[in-house]
Amino acid sequence: MEQFKIPIGRGIEAVINFFVDHFSFATKAFAGVTENGINLLVSAMMFFPPWALILIFTAISWLLTRNRGITIFTMAGMALIWNLGLWDPTVSTIALVIIATLFSIMIGVPLGIFAALNGVFYRIVMPVLDLMQTMPAFVYLIPAIPFFGLGPVAAIFATVIFSMPPAIRLTCLGIKQVPQELVEAADAFGSTKWQKLFKLQLPISAPTMMAGVNQTIMLALSMVVIAAMIGARGLGGEVWRAIQRLEADRGFEAGLGIVIVAIILDRIMQKLGSRAKKQ
């Protein structure tokens, strides 16, 4: 049986090589944008002393959620991270998550819209998303390396691929969930496709899209941690180093930092989602 192994792996490898050889201009452009983005964001955040940044985050959290519990947790959690000496890796993790999420949304939302409006594309993209979401996260690390080498850009690339499916899926779902009668009403008054999209479909699907963005952020965070293996720094890097040196205490503390960041992001996004729904 194994003598005639079907060359799936080889095929994928050939495709990757093809892209590496012929699309280096694209990978270089992506690398440039990403690297600059990360550097800019990190140095912007590092410009403030930790206590100032904590206050800023706390204020943002209050403005977005108007929820005392979440705001206090944000302040206390960040203070604990600072106290544990995890400030720098946390800042770089947050920067990676923000950049990766932005990419995922920028690519995922238009794809989701397109899938909702185009039946053929929908039938193609859905199985691909299923495949992408069941594939173990580590696998995405491998093609990232030939494109970008070890480092944060490769990590962002793998993270974007891994975290994009919910953005596509839930955008598409949200638009398809807009009641047929409302779409009919928009049509009956002579709306163009774009008017229908911007005046009806996107506003109504906003809460669902928000849920998608939330999932994307959570996936991005988990992937950024895993991507430490290919040179992403940050909290994941701390855990990775602790594993290699068998430092249980360091590893646990860094893990705690990740949990705190995850909870803060998740709660803020959930509040935003439910606020969007209420409107």
Partner 1 sequence: MTHKIVVDNVYKIFGPHPDKALKLIDQGHTNEQIMQKTGSAVGVAGVSFTVDEGEILVVMGLSGSGKSTLVRCINRLIEPTVGKVEVDGVDVTQLSTVELMRFRQKHFGMVFQNFALFPHRTVLQNVAYGLEIQKVDPGAMRERSMQALTQVGLKGWEDSYPAQLSGGMQQRVGLARALALDADIMLMDEAFSALDPLIRRDMQDELLELQERVKKTIVFISHDLDEAIKIGDRIVLMKDGRVVQVGTAEEILTNPANDYVARFVEEVDMSKVMTAESVMVKPSALAYFKSDGPRAALRKMQKAGISSIFVRRDGKIIGMVTADDAAKAIKDNARDLQSILITDIQTVRPATPAIELFPILAGINYPLAVLDDNDHLLGVIIKGSLLAGLAEGLQTGGNS
Min dist. Cβ of residue 193 to partner 1 (A):
9
36 touching partner 1, by CB under 8 A = no
25 touching partner 1, by CB under 8 A = no
1 touching partner 1, by CB under 8 A = no
Neighbours of 251 (CB within 10 A): 18
Q: Considering only residues 10, 66, 199, 245, which one is a binding residue for partner 1 as defined by CB under 8 A?
A: 199
Q: Considering only residues 17, 85, 184, 198, which one is a binding residue for partner 1 as defined by CB under 8 A?
A: 184
243 touching partner 1, by CB under 8 A = no
Q: Considering only residues 110, 195, 198, 274, which one is a binding residue for partner 1 as defined by CB under 8 A?
A: 195
H helices of 48-86, in order, are: 50-65, 68-83
Q: Decide: 278 and 84 in contact? Cβ < 8 Å.
A: no
21 touching partner 1, by CB under 8 A = no
Min dist. Cβ of residue 175 to partner 1 (A):
14
Min dist. Cβ of residue 109 to partner 1 (A):
18
Count the alpha carbons within 13 Å of 247 in the hemisphere toward its beta carbon.
13
Q: Decide: 99 and 45 in contact? Cβ < 8 Å.
A: no
Only one of the segments 56-64, 81-89, 184-192, 242-250 lies at the binding site for partner 1 (rule: CB under 8 A); that segment is: 184-192
181 touching partner 1, by CB under 8 A = yes
Q: Write the interaction track for partner 1 spanning residues 113-152; mark x where CB under 8 A is met and - where it is not.
A: ----------------------------------------
83 touching partner 1, by CB under 8 A = no
SS3 233: coil
Min dist. Cβ of residue 179 to partner 1 (A):
8
Q: How far apart are CA 63 and CA 210, in angstroms?
A: 17
Count the alpha carbons within 13 Å of 129 in the hemisphere toward its beta carbon.
19
Residue type, 28: K
CA distances from 236 to 123, 171, 184, 215 (A): 36, 29, 49, 19
Count the alpha carbons within 13 Å of 170 in the hemisphere toward its beta carbon.
19
**Measured from the CB atom, is 134 or 279 closer to partner 1?**
279
Where are any strands of DSSP class E within 234-277? Answer: none
Q: Which residues bind partner 1 (CB under 8 A)?
A: 179, 181-182, 184-192, 195, 199-200, 203-204, 279
